[in-house]
Structure 1
């Protein structure tokens, strides 16, 4: 708990000056409010004596204190809310940066997927924001409590000490409630992640859901998850709100006791009506800071529980480390060498002792059944994750010694599952190289065989592509993706099943673009359709994470091995 609070406080360092103003405003508000309560005694005593001149002298002071307290409270709450917004927005930005740095192993194995990560960055951070707003109360109300307690001690110190007997009881109850909240709040946030993931799947997979009549299944899934979530939140709300009535009952008991005691004292002539009213007023005002402090303290427990989850992700080590050497990318390299490379997800070996050499300018195709390790080989080259053992070299330079940004700047990627930003076609193509003049966008689109369909769109290159490019057909998206890779103008190219999801007509159009893209470049091509890789300089056949054959199309057919089997299956 202490660690999470320290880390949250460290996020507030850029706002030190603002927090100082928040603190000063809190002190002023507490002092002014307490002094107003203390004025009640002389006001009532003077009223009882019909000293109206003295009453008129006290009223302006009471109004001045009310104005000071109101203005101070405004800045205290307003500035604390603003700081809470700033801190939580900074945490959102850190999470987004972390998500983009975490390797594919993390993203592929995260329990609730991208929906869970969205929930973390929105719902969990939102819970922290709500809790941080209460920090102002944690600071303000203990001060107000102390000042009001001072009032009570001044008016009647013996009675005040007698009423303090209930403080340990409230403290013990508060501790018990906080412990319960630290247990149930993370459970609720985990269930909220599951619900967010289900909602995201319902939107992303709407086509399949409607096709297979799964609307009711998905609806029931969310209903069941909602029931679990509501049961947990029911407990959280019950624990949070129980403090209110407990405090109010105890406060009412104290007030009644004080009422009887002060009535007796006034009757006996040992106290004045002003003493009675002043003590009761301060005592009643004391209830508010106690209640607010309890509420704030309880809410902070929830914040600590949620912060623990967020910091767990921020501290996750599954991140591709930056190079220590920070060597530049070797521009005159002659070959890429995979030397005894292995890779595993936990205990599952994906690649086993792979040795492979790719000469500059070669088109190398990777072939094999699903799960054979084809995509892992190209993912390792871009360092989406690092190999478990072995090394990958550009001549004699280990890719782990090359600056990560420089390495990826020299590799262009075209995948089967094309991702386009919800932006214009021009900006999507230009994203390939942000430092390059966008006047070349049209040229690259023409080479990618995309210019014709783009010019037929209502706004040409300024047409928006929709979420993930859903306003374009599969072939159109693929050609924009190829234009983006061309615009990047990287010497090394990765084609990950770039045409496997297309119909024959679209594949022909896309293949023309790919032919232009591969000219003069070193290319690694993953393909299920063997017809698209017959002209490759080298075909690498994988099985169970190991290379079982290497050769040209004709050589491998003559060998009548694994490649020949694939070829026969596709042409049978």
Structure 2
């Protein structure tokens, strides 16, 4: 618990000056409020004795103190809310940046998927933000409690000591609630992750859901997730609210006891009515700081759990590490070599001792059944994750020693599942390399065979593509993706089944763009349709994570091996 609090405190450091103001205004507020409570004794004593001059002096002073409490309370709460907002926004940015640095293994293995990660960046952050706001209460209300207790000791120290017998009871109640909260809050957070994941799947898969009449199935799934979440929240609310009635009953008992005692003292002439009013006023005012402190204490338990979840990702080591050598990408490289490369995913061996040489300017096709390791080979080249053993060299330079950004700057990727940003066509093409002059965007679109359909759109290159390119057809999205890769102008090209999801007409249009894209580049092509790779310089056939054949189209057909079998299946 202390570890997470220290980490959150570190996030507050940039706002030290503002927090100092928050602390000062809290102290002034507590002092002024306690002084007003004590002044009630003098006011009622003056009123009882009909001392008009004393009343005329005390009333303006009380008004001044009331103004001070109003102003300091405003700045105290306003500034704390603003700081909480700033801290959470900073954490949200750190978390998003971390998501983008985490390797594909982390994202693929995360149980609740992207919906669960969204839950952390939204729901857990909201809990932390609400919790940080009560930091103001932690500054203010303990001080107010101390000053009010000072009033009580000043007025009647014997009675004050007697009332403090109940303090250990309140502490025991809070401790019990804290222990219970630490048990149920993690369950509630996990439940929220799965509920968010279900909602996201409902939106992402709406086409399939409607096509297969799965609306009720998804609704039932969300209902189950919601029922589980509500059950846990019900338990948490029980624990949270249990302290309120208990502490309020204890507070009422103390007030009634004090009332009986002080009324006896007044009747016996040992105290004045002002003493009675001043003591009761301070005692009643104690309820607010005690209640706020109780709420803050309970809230902190939630904040600590959410902070654990946030920092567990921010500190997750599953990043592709930067090399201390930080070498630039070789300029005049001649070949790429996979040397005894193996890759394990969980308990499964995906690649086994891969040895492959790709000469500069070659088009190398990767062929094999699903799960044979084709995509893994290209993913390792871009370091979406690193090989379990072996090495990948560009000439004699291990890619692990190359600056990661520079490595990826020299590789252009075109995939089957095209991802476009919810922005304009121009911005999506320009995303290939924001450092280049955008004047070349139209020329790249023409080479990608995309210019004509772009110009038919209402706003041309400024037309929006929608979420993930939803306003475009599959072929149009793919041609924008090719234009983006062309604009990047990287020497290495990866085509991961770039045309497999297209109809024949769209494939012809897209293939024209791909032909332009591959000119003068080294290309690794993954394709299920063997007709698209017959002109490749080298075809690499994989089976169960191993290379079983390498050669040209005609050469491999003549061997009548695994490639021949694939070819026969597609031409029967």
TM-score, length basis structure 1: 1.00
Q: How does 1:307-326 map to 2 (within 5 A)?
A: 307-326=307-326
Aligned partners of 1:52, 1:199: CA distance in 2, in Å? 69
The CA deviation at 1:269 is: 0.6
Aligned twin of 2:66:
66
Q: How does 1:378-393 map to 2 (within 5 A)?
A: 378-393=378-393
The CA deviation at 1:242 is: 1.5
Unaligned runs of 5+ in 1: none
Unaligned runs of 5+ in 2: none
Q: How does 1:43-442 map to 2 (within 5 A)?
A: 43-442=43-442
The CA deviation at 1:241 is: 1.5
The CA deviation at 1:237 is: 1.3
CA contact (8 A) 1:374 1:542 kept: yes
Question: Structure 1 residues 315-324 or 374-383, which shifts more?
Answer: 315-324
SS in 2 for 1:167: helix
Query: Cα deviation per residue 1:296-335 (whole Å; 9 max; x = unaligned)?
Result: 0110110001111111111111100012101110010000
SS in 1 for 2:309: helix
Query: Cα deviation per residue 1:211-248 (whole Å; 9 max; x = unaligned)?
Result: 00000000000001000000101111111122211111
Query: Cα deviation per residue 1:98-139 (whole Å; 9 max; x = unaligned)?
Result: 000000000111001111111110011111101111111111
Aligned partners of 2:238, 2:76: CA distance in 1, in Å? 29
Aligned twin of 1:15:
15
Aligned partners of 1:178, 1:128: CA distance in 2, in Å? 17
Aligned partners of 1:101, 1:316: CA distance in 2, in Å? 10
CA contact (8 A) 1:243 1:295 kept: no
Query: Cα deviation per residue 1:451-485 (whole Å; 9 max; x = unaligned)?
Result: 00000000000000000000000000000000000
The CA deviation at 1:526 is: 0.2
2:38 corresponds to 1:38: yes
Q: How does 1:538-557 map to 2 (within 5 A)?
A: 538-557=538-557
SS in 2 for 1:542: strand
2:567 corresponds to 1:567: yes
Aligned partners of 2:176, 2:514: CA distance in 1, in Å? 66
Question: Structure 1 residues 238-247 or 478-487, which shifts more?
Answer: 238-247
The CA deviation at 1:18 is: 0.3
Q: How does 1:526-545 map to 2 (within 5 A)?
A: 526-545=526-545
Aligned partners of 2:14, 2:139: CA distance in 1, in Å? 19
CA contact (8 A) 1:323 1:400 kept: yes
Aligned twin of 1:502:
502
SS in 2 for 1:12: helix
4+ runs deviating over 2 angstroms:
none
SS in 2 for 1:242: helix
The CA deviation at 1:52 is: 1.6
Aligned partners of 1:58, 1:346: CA distance in 2, in Å? 76
CA contact (8 A) 1:412 1:492 kept: yes
Aligned partners of 1:520, 1:42: CA distance in 2, in Å? 93
Aligned partners of 1:184, 1:134: CA distance in 2, in Å? 21
CA contact (8 A) 1:243 1:291 kept: no
SS in 2 for 1:449: coil
2:482 corresponds to 1:482: yes
Question: Structure 1 residues 283-292 or 182-191, which shifts more?
Answer: 182-191
Aligned partners of 1:300, 1:376: CA distance in 2, in Å? 44
Aligned twin of 1:492:
492
Question: Structure 1 residues 313-322 or 213-222, which shifts more?
Answer: 313-322
TM-score, length basis structure 2: 1.00
Aligned partners of 1:183, 1:31: CA distance in 2, in Å? 38
The CA deviation at 1:94 is: 0.4
> Alignment RMSD, CA only?
0.6
Aligned partners of 1:347, 1:315: CA distance in 2, in Å? 24
Aligned partners of 1:557, 1:357: CA distance in 2, in Å? 21
CA contact (8 A) 1:77 1:136 kept: yes
SS in 2 for 1:62: helix
Name the count of aligned residue pairs: 572
Aligned partners of 2:440, 2:479: CA distance in 1, in Å? 16
Aligned partners of 1:235, 1:87: CA distance in 2, in Å? 30
Aligned partners of 2:180, 2:2: CA distance in 1, in Å? 17
Aligned partners of 1:24, 1:237: CA distance in 2, in Å? 34
Aligned partners of 2:394, 2:524: CA distance in 1, in Å? 15
Query: Cα deviation per residue 1:257-286 (whole Å; 9 max; x = unaligned)?
Result: 011111111111111100001000000001
The CA deviation at 1:50 is: 0.9
CA contact (8 A) 1:365 1:524 kept: yes
Aligned partners of 1:471, 1:322: CA distance in 2, in Å? 38
